[in-house]
Amino acid sequence: MRDLQKRARAAYRVGGVELYLSVLTVGGVPLASSLLVSLVPEGWPGCRTAYDLARRLAGGEVVELEGAGEAVRQERAGASDPERLMGSTLATTTVVYNVPVPASQAWLTLTFSTPMEALAPKMVELFDTVAGTLHWQ
């Protein structure tokens, strides 16, 4: 628990504003996943649009979020780093959305991840659905 608190504080120091952890269990199987919402108030230097940022980020692609406009989406999967992930050795799938905040230089970053390798395709669908609910008022 202390390591989780330490990680949450570290995320807060670099712009993390909300952290969601799944404690859902289906058929006795825990559906481990997380969502970290971060704000980059000064934005990405030299990136005014999603297309600018997509050219800068490896594997970034511009997608349209119905209620939030253009965003840069990245997806990656790979072996975890036990030092960084509280001892976990499970492969982790991560989906990141970078969304420009209207009428500002800021960007909102949604970082979803799951160590559920066998369920990763379905979890990615869930992550994409959640990101699709973002909207500006």
Predicted local confidence at residue 80, as pLDDT: 59
> Are the C-beta atoms of residues 108 and 129 closer than 8 Å to each other?
no
Residues whose CB is less than 8 angstroms from the CB of residue 108 and which lie 6 or more positions away in sequence, other chains included: 37, 38, 39, 40, 98, 99, 101, 134
Q: What per-residue confidence (pLDDT) applies to 109?
A: 95
**Contact 99/65 with Cβ under 8 angstroms?**
yes
Q: How many CB atoms lie within 10 A of CB 42?
A: 11
Q: What is the pLDDT of residue 18?
A: 85
**In this predicted structure, what is the pLDDT of residue 60?**
94
Task: Identify the pLDDT of residue 24.
Answer: 82
pLDDT along the chain (137 residues), means of 10: 72 78 82 90 91 94 96 88 58 94 94 89 94 94
